Structure 1
Amino acid sequence: MALTVSLVVLAGIAVLVLLRTGYLRIWPALAAVLFGFTLASTGIAPAISGAISSVAGWISQLG
Structure 2
Amino acid sequence: MEITISLVVLLAVVVVLLLRFKAVGAGAAVVVALFGFYLAGTDAADTVNQLVTDFTHAVPGIGR
TM bin, normalised by shorter chain, reads 0.5 to 0.7
Percent identity between matched residues is 24
Point out the structure with the larger helix share. Answer: 1
Which has the greater radius of gyration? 2
Q: What TM-score do the two structures reach when normalised by structure 2?
A: 0.56
Shift of the alpha carbon at 1:42? 2.2
Unaligned stretches of 5+ residues in structure 2: none
Aligned residues, how many? Answer: 51
After TM superposition, what 4+ stretches of structure 1 lie above 4 angstroms from structure 2? Answer: none
Unaligned stretches of 5+ residues in structure 1: none
Question: Which residue of structure 2 aligns with residue 8 of structure 1?
Answer: 8
User: In angstroms, what is the RMSD of aligned CA positions?
Assistant: 2.8
Task: Name which structure has the greater RCO, CA cutoff 8 Å, separation 6+.
Answer: 1
Q: What TM-score do the two structures reach when normalised by structure 1?
A: 0.57
